[in-house]
Each structure stands twice: as structure tokens, then as C-alpha cells.
């Protein structure tokens, strides 16, 4: 039996129709595929997004995650100066139990129905080998090269910009950085920080992972409970999102927040709360844009040297955001979002001529 794909109706009222170009759901009873693809905005180029496979508690939760991720990808690409749009792919299921070649290929056929408007890359619950399987059914896909080191490099540049704006110097030697998450991005960031003689504190929910990274690079492992309240110059969240929330904000003892995680703030109003506490926040969709910069380079055929140079410019964009926010007396999130929206508006206006 062939997979059945259909446009989804408005789950979130007018917001879905006003702000998202396309949301479709896929259901293949043969493989058990239940998936969602969100295309937020293709003004600047085709939408690129991760294929995230998780055992969501409900279809509504999966949809909400897809909408949020796709919107953030649009902002990230636009603010970073890329010719890409924002999208997200969601596969509902346990990747350890439910993932199969047949299911991934069914998802690839689902993506193919969009005619190149969505370009998939690996995300939570998928790896590059999975994207290669998906690529047997659709093109283009991002299945070459690991973006994690480039995400970490962009975070490092953002940390430098934050230290320069808050302390007058971007020198990392002797600075203390608390890295939350010892996965792909967090471990690469720890390596880069230690190479610059920074003091690194690191924690992870997986037993032993933070300890292994700490031993490898000369960092100090901490418990997941203690990392949030660690005294440090920079807090670098590199795991799951919504780290800064009403109950966690009072525990923070840092001057700068810049990390690789998405959706760091549990709610938008927390950007104001951070500013009132004197904590400089590098908006997550810019601080972690290095991986997306690299992926665009892969699609364009750039070599590693060119990709590295482009990723390092993320730090200058973050520095510009800090200056704009200070000058306009707005939060850094508002300043970064304004940059993204201005670029989208300019492209739309040019397209109407």
C-alpha cells in the first residue's frame, strides 16, 4: 500500500495560515510512518531542517515542536545571511525501536512530494546514515560531513563576542565556561575552549559522558543539577531547549549565555528578565548558526577552509546584535529578530518589482 500524504488543517488557528507556508502530514500504514513536515518560509531559498524522531506524547506535541523548530530555522538563516528558508521534519516514534530502512525511505518519498522545497538533515533521533537512506528517495539531502564541529565553532565565536561586549576583551584564557551537554556540539566546544586556555565545567544527563569529555580535554565534570548554578563567565547550553525558565533563571551565576541548544528561553519574556539581571544573551538561533552555515556551504560546494571562514563571521553578527540592542534599548532577541525580518522583507520587496 502506498503512503498517503495530506495537507493538514489549521491546528493553531490563524497563526498557522498567516505565518507558515505549508504543513503536511504523512501516514504510511505499511511501515508505520507517522510524520509531519513544516515549511515556514522559503523567501530566501528552499527550507532546510532536521529530521527529528521522537516518541512524542501526542500528535499535538509533535506538531508544536515542528512549528517551533521551522520558525527558528527561518530566523537563523535570515539573520546569518544565508539563502535558505526554515523547515522541520518530525517522525513520531522511538528511534531505538521503530526506526527501519523501510520507514526512512517512506519518509523520503513523503519529502519528495514537496519538489525540493524541504532539504533534510539529521537531528535528534537520526544520524547521517539515516539521511543517506532518505536520500535514496528524494534529493537534495544534507548527508555529507558533520555540522557539529562548525556549530561549536560558531558558538565559540559568539562567546568571544559576548565576553568582549560584557568585559571589554574577547580573550578566553582564564575565562570559565559552563557547558551543559557533552554530546556532539558540547564535546567539540569543550575541545575548542580548552585549546584557548579557558576553564571548562561540563555536565550531561548521560552517566559518564561528561566525565569522559572532561578527562579527554582537561575540563571539570559536574552534575546536571549543579551546572546551572555554577559560578562562571559564560553559560553555554548545548543540550535540549527551554533551559532558561522562570524557576531556573534565579540560579544562573554567569555574565553571558551563548550555546548550541535551540529554543534556550522557555518563553520570550525571559529575554527581558535576563537583561534586568545583567546577563548578556546571544540569541540561540544566531549563536548556533555555524552548523547551518556549513550545511549551506556543502550544498554550494564550498571547501572546509571557506566554510570555516564563513562560520567564524557568526561572531561578528552576534557582536552587531549586541550593539544594536544597546543602541535601540531592546533585548538581543528583538534586535536579532529585527535583522532577520528586515532581510526577509527586503527580499520580498525585491521579488515584487
Q: What DSSP line would sit under 231-255, residue for residue? A: B-SEEEE-SSS--B-TTTGGG-B-S
Determine the average pLDDT of the residues in 156-176: 96
The share of the chain scoring above pLDDT 90, in percent, equals 85
pLDDT tens sequence across 20-69:
999 999 999 999 999 999 999 999 999 999 999 999 999 999 999 999 89
Give the three-class secondary structure for 234. Answer: strand
pTM: 0.88
Q: Does 7 score more than 50 pLDDT?
A: no
Q: What is the pLDDT of residue 203?
A: 97
Whole-number Å distance between alpha carbons of 112 and 108: 6
CB burial readout 143-175, b (16+ within 10 A) else e: beeebbbbbbbbbbbbbbbbbbbbeeebebeeb
Whole-number Å distance between alpha carbons of 305 and 317: 19
- Give the dihedral of Cα atoms 53, 264, 318, 199; nearest 10 deg: -100
The share of the chain scoring above pLDDT 70, in percent, equals 94
DSSP E strand stretches across the chain: 4-7, 22-28, 33-41, 47-54, 85-92, 118-122, 176-180, 199-203, 220-221, 234-237, 256-257, 280-281
* pLDDT band of 350, cuts 50, 70, 90: confident
Residue 314 corresponds to which cell in the numbers above?
557568526
Dihedral sign (CA 238, 158, 272, 82): negative
Q: Which of 263, 324, 289, 330 shows the shortest CA–CA distance to 157?
A: 289
Give the three-class secondary structure for 105. Answer: helix
Whole-number Å distance between alpha carbons of 345 and 339: 10
Residue-range domains of the chain with CATH: 4-74+84-134 (3.40.50.10860), 148-340 (3.40.50.720)
Q: Does 351 score more than 90 pLDDT?
A: no
In degrees rounded to 5, what are phi and psi of residue 131? Answer: -65, -35
pLDDT tens sequence across 308-337:
999 999 999 999 999 999 999 999 999 999
Q: What is the pLDDT of residue 6?
A: 46
* pLDDT band of 145, cuts 50, 70, 90: confident
Determine the average pLDDT of the residues in 67-88: 94
pLDDT tens sequence across 125-135:
898 899 999 99
Rg (CA), the chain: 20
Cis bond leading into 315, ω under 30°?
A: no
* pLDDT band of 223, cuts 50, 70, 90: very high
Give the three-class secondary structure for 6. Answer: strand
Whole-number Å distance between alpha carbons of 87 and 281: 25
Q: What is the pLDDT of residue 73?
A: 94
pLDDT tens sequence across 179-194:
999 998 999 999 999 9
Q: What is the mean pLDDT of the chain?
A: 92
Cα–Cα distance list, 106 to 58, 62, 70, 135 (Å)? 21, 18, 21, 11
**Rounded to the nearest 5 degrees, what angle is found at the Cα of 80, between the Cα atoms of 77 and 86?**
5
- Give the dihedral of Cα atoms 333, 339, 344, 346; nearest 10 deg: 160
Q: Does 173 score more than 60 pLDDT?
A: yes
Whole-number Å distance between alpha carbons of 179 and 130: 28
Q: What is the pLDDT of residue 123?
A: 87
Q: What is the pLDDT of residue 335?
A: 97
Q: Does 88 score more than 70 pLDDT?
A: yes
Q: Does 9 score more than 50 pLDDT?
A: no
Q: What is the pLDDT of residue 1?
A: 33
Whole-number Å distance between alpha carbons of 52 and 138: 17
pLDDT tens sequence across 253-300:
999 999 999 889 999 899 999 999 999 999 999 999 999 999 999 999
Whole-number Å distance between alpha carbons of 91 and 172: 40
* Whether the Cβ atoms of residue 87 and residue 73 lie closer than 8 Å to each other: yes
What residues are paired with 269 via a beta bridge? none
* Whether the Cβ atoms of residue 134 and residue 51 lie closer than 8 Å to each other: yes
Amino acid at each position: 500500500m502506498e503512503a498517503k500524504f495530506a495537507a493538514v488543517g489549521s491546528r493553531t488557528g490563524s497563526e498557522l495560515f498567516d505565518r507558515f507556508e505549508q504543513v503536511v502530514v504523512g501516514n504510511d500504514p505499511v511501515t508505520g510512518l507517522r510524520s509531519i513536515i513544516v515549511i515556514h518560509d522559503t523567501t530566501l531559498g528552499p527550507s532546510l531542517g532536521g529530521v527529528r524522531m521522537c516518541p512524542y506524547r501526542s500528535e499535538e506535541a509533535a506538531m508544536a515542536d515542528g512549528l517551533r523548530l521551522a520558525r527558528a530555522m527561518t530566523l537563523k538563516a535570515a539573520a546569518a545571511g544565508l539563502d535558505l528558508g526554515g523547515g522541520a521534519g518530525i517522525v513520531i516514534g522511538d528511534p531505538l525501536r521503530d526506526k527501519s530502512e523501510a520507514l526512512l525511505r517512506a519518509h523520503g518519498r513523503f519529502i519528495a512530494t514537496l519538489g525540493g522545497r524541504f532539504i533534510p538533515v539529521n537531528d535528534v533521533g537520526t544520524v547521517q546514515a539515516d539521511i543517506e537512506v532518505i536520500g535514496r528517495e528524494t534529493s537534495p539531502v544534507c548527508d555529507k560531513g558533520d555540522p557539529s564541529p562548525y556549530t561549536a565553532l560558531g558558538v565559540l565565536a559568539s562567546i568571544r563576542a559576548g565576553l568582549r561586549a560584557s568585559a571589554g576583551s574577547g580573550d578566553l584564557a582564564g575565562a570559565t565556561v559552563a557547558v551543559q551537554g557533552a554530546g556532539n556540539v558540547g564535546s567539540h566546544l569543550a575541545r575548542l575552549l580548552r585549546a584557548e586556555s579557558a576553564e571548562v565545567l561540563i555536565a550531561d544527563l548521560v552517566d559518564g559522558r561528561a566525565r569522559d569529555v572532561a578527562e579527554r580535554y582537561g575540563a571539570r565534570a559536574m552534575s546536571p543539577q549543579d551546572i546551572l548554578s555554577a559560578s562562571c563567565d559564560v553559560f553555554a547550553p548545548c543540550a535540549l531547549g527551554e533551559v532558561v525558565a522562570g524557576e531556573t533563571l534565579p540560579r544562573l551565576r554567569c555574565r553571558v549565555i551563548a550555546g548550541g541548544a535551540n529554543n534556550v528561553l522557555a518563553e520570550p519574556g525571559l529575554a527581558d528578565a535576563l537583561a534586568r539581571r545583567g546577563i548578556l544573551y546571544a540569541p540561540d538561533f544566531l549563536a548556533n548558526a555555524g552548523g547551518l552555515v556549513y550545511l549551506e556551504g556543502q550544498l554550494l560546494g564550498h571547501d572546509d577552509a571557506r566554510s570555516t571562514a564563513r562560520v567564524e563571521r557568526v561572531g561578528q553578527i552576534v557582536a552587531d546584535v549586541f550593539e544594536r540592542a544597546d543602541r535601540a534599548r531592546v533585548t538581543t532577541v528583538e534586535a536579532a529578530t529585527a535583522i532577520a525580518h528586515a532581510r526577509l522583507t527586503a527580499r520580498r520587496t525585491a521579488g515584487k518589482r
